Chains A and B, each alone.
Chain A
Amino acid sequence: MSFLIFSQTFVNALLLSLIYVLVAMGLTLILSIMSMINFAHGELYMFGGFGVYVILQRFGYNYWLGVLVGVLIAVLAGVLLERTVFRPLRKELLPASFAALGVGMILQTVALMIFGPLDKDVPTVFPGVINISGVFIPMEKLVIVLGSLAVIGAIIVFVNYFRAGQALQAVAQDSEAAALMGININRINALGFGIGCGLAAVAGGLIAPLYYVSPYMGMSPLLKAFNVIIIGGLGSIPGAVLGSFLLGFIDQFSLTYLGYVGNIVGFLLILLFLLFRPRGLLGREIQMH
């Protein structure tokens, strides 16, 4: 019995962690390259959600097409934003971050004006539940997990085996040095920012059927993503993965075994991290201008 609870919680934690990874990845990528906190991440996450909503719910086309559309729009928006807003603010943490906050506000209100404040439902795309001797795994969560794993894999491959990816890494480590190596910083930044935004949209698109779609859907995932990257280490992609798992498990288990008091546990953990190991698990101090 109690073992059943444990194993169910364990599975839930696993699923939740991978959802966190999906959201945190883009945030940390952008942080590592532009050394800014992308407060607009939640709104780009929303792009994915609305992509699915419009394509699937309004026009009744294929779900994946919806995700794709959402992602493409997000990437475009990302590149555009980098060019117009963030490029001149590169390596200026606070200005860039607050400009991002402003961008987020704008995007949110625009979405509000287009779609209205009511929560939109997205039909279950992958119905059904897998039952392994009393431990339940919803189908659609499984899909998300696979998606999330795919994304992690793709990022790892891209960063390590593609020229652009390696350039990305170089810029993240030391943009000056990278520039000396003849890397076009501007292009790489645009690329990185675009990918980051795309990742946010992927997350939104995959998670949309699980919950619902609304202009405010990005808020709580963003907060979680913050906590994840604080724990994992700012600007470190492996850190983001590690942090997601740590936080995912802590959230699930504390809530399951402590009840609503568990809400505060995660935050206390984060505070402890910030006070005693501010770099997080795998973080390094971010280079400033």
Chain B
Amino acid sequence: MRKWSRLVGYVVLIGLLLIVPQFVRDPRWMHLVIMTGLYIILAGGLRLIMSTGQVSFAHAAFWGIGAYTSTLLVMRLGVSFWIALPLSGLVGAIVASLIGYPCLRLKGPYFFLVTMVVGEILRLFLTNSVDFFGGDAGISSIPSPNRIRIGNWAIAFPYRSVNYYYLMLVGLFVSLFVYYRLERSRFGMICSGVRADGSLSESLGVNVMKYKLTAFVVGSLLASLVGSFFAHYTTFISPGFFTFNESTIMLIMVVIGGLESTTGAIIGVILITVLTELTREFSKYEIIVYGAALVLVFRFAPGGIFDLYRKFISRLRSHRASVA
């Protein structure tokens, strides 16, 4: 029974996602859907990192690292996108482990301070090197991914074509699979254990450092991959995309949705992206709303919206039980 409903869930979800382009023909909303997908991958990664009790303010920076690596590989060295994509992921992972290894062993705010500084240094670095990284005017007209041939039919990626959506979808499925497996397996259990009480976990034999580092590297790696895709999708990147503020927004998405689970992060992303788009004319109140949300969530609902929804459901259940 349980297996069944789960299977149905999968099928319906995938079906739904596959036919989205059928009734979202307007490029505006198509773009929004794609960006939402990308943000889900990003936020999910951040959620993963946060599940070990750490926060990375460099998440947008890794997004940027991916974008710039891939862009430079393709434009300067003429590497194919399909090679640049994994390479940029690799670079992200390496940088992550270089930063994470010395800093994650420390209690307290050190790690997120480090990541803050890292993000800022990246920005300064990019803006200062005009000749190579294009300064803060960024890099324009980034080539789109070259066509894939399978037998005698090929998939091309002209500017803004729907194929980007399907490419994004593949990435989304893969990363969601990873996120959910990590969350629902013993890995997730240990991460939350580490977050709840590091020393207790250690006394039970858990190598806390290893789990923090793994989470950070995996999250950053996926962020870099997103960056690579993003660069070739929008064909323009500049340091402005990848600042501290962007990280903060991702963070707010995760927190509001609920960092107890990947689903929470997903909900947060969809909610914020859709709402901000639908309430454009009120954009000047956006910041205050974010602020209020942050305070309220941390003060009253640390589990975020998804947790509230869960509690609500379970209350309904128990209520029904008591009625019956």
A–B contact via C-beta, under 8 angstroms: yes
- Tell me, yes or no, whether A255 is within 8 Å of chain B by CB: no
Residues of B within 8 A of A288 (CB): 107-108
- Cβ contact within 8 Å between A94 and B53: yes
Kindly list chain A residues whose C-beta atoms are within 8 Å of the C-beta of B14.
none
User: Could you say which of B36-44, B70-78, B116-124, B306-314 contacts chain A?
Assistant: B116-124
B222 CB → nearest A CB, Å:
22
Q: Are B291 and A102 in contact (CB under 8 A)?
A: yes
In the complex the two chains form, what is the Cα distance from A96 to B299 in whole Å?
A: 9
Closest chain-B Cβ to A42's Cβ sits at a distance in Å of: 13
Q: A137 — which chain B residues lie within 8 A by C-beta? A: none
Q: Which of B103, B284, B285, B293 contacts A278 (CB 8 A)?
A: B103
A236 within 8 A of B: no
CB distance from B134 to the nearest CB of A (A): 18
| Interface 0/1 of B249-266, CB less than 8 Å to A | 001000100000000000
Please state if A95 and B288 are interface contacts (CB–CB under 8 Å): no
Knowing A85-B295, A264-B128, the reply to whether A105 touches B53 (Cβ < 8 A) is no
Given A98-B294, A102-B293: A275 touches B287 (CB 8 Å cut-off): no
CB distance from A114 to the nearest CB of B (A): 12
Name the interface residues of A193-246: CB closer than 8 Å to any CB of B: 223, 226-227, 230, 234
By a CB distance below 8 angstroms, the chain B residues around A96 are 298
Answer yes or no: B55 CB below 8 A from chain A CBs.
yes
Known: A263-B124, A271-B114. A102 touches B294 (CB 8 A): yes
Q: Contact between A109 and B287 (Cβ–Cβ < 8 Å)? A: yes
Q: Are B125 and A264 touching (Cβ within 8 A)? A: yes
- Name the distance in Å between B65's Cβ and chain A's nearest Cβ: 15
Q: Which of B91-128 contact A (CB under 8 A)?
A: 102-103, 106-110, 112-114, 116-118, 120-121, 124-125, 128
B324 at the interface (CB under 8 A from A): no
Label chain A's interface by main secondary structure.
helix
A278 touching B106 in the complex, CB below 8 Å, given contacts A88-B299, A264-B128, A267-B121? yes
Query: Could you mark each residue 177-216 of chain B with 1 if its beta carbon is under 8 Å from any beta carbon of chain A, else 0?
Result: 0000000000000000000000000000000000000000
A95 touches B290 (CB 8 A): no
> How far is the CB of A65 from the nearest CB of chain B, in Å?
30
A223 contacts across to B, CB distance below 8 A? 120
Q: Mark A240-270, 1 if CB is under 8 A from B, else 0.
A: 0000000000000000000011011001101
Contact status A106-B117, CB under 8 Å? no
Which residues of chain A come closer than 8 Å to B120, judged between CB atoms?
223, 267
What CA separation (Å) do A234 and B125 show in the bound complex? 26
* B-contacting residues, A61-81, CB 8 Å: none
Number of interface residues, chain A, beta carbon within 8 A:
43
Q: Are B108 and A103 in contact (CB under 8 A)?
A: no
Task: Check if A11 is an interface residue, CB within 8 A of chain B.
Answer: no
Q: Which residues of A contact B295 (CB under 8 A)?
A: 85, 99, 102-103, 106
Q: Which residues of A contact B292 (CB under 8 A)?
A: 102, 106
What is the CB-to-nearest-CB distance from B120 to chain A, in angstroms, rounded to a whole number?
A: 6
List the A side residues contacting B125 at CB < 8 Å.
264
Give bound CA distance, A117 to B125, whole Å: 29
As a 0/1 sequence over residues 262 to 289 of chain A, the CB contacts with chain B under 8 angstroms (1 = contact) are 0110011011001110100000011010
> A102-B293, A103-B291, A264-B124 known; A95 and B110 CB under 8 Å?
no
A37 within 8 A of B: yes
A268 touches B255 (CB 8 A): no
**Most chain A CB neighbours (cut-off 10 Å) among B102, B284, B287:** B287
CB distance from B46 to the nearest CB of A (A): 13
Residues of A within 8 Å of B293, CB to CB, are: 102
12 contacts between A and B (CB under 8 A): A93-B109, A99-B298, A102-B292, A105-B294, A108-B287, A234-B109, A261-B128, A267-B117, A267-B121, A271-B118, A286-B108, A288-B107
Supplied contacts A95-B298, A106-B292, 13 more A-B pairs, CB within 8 Å: A35-B108, A85-B295, A98-B251, A102-B292, A105-B288, A108-B287, A108-B291, A112-B284, A223-B120, A226-B113, A261-B128, A271-B117, A286-B109
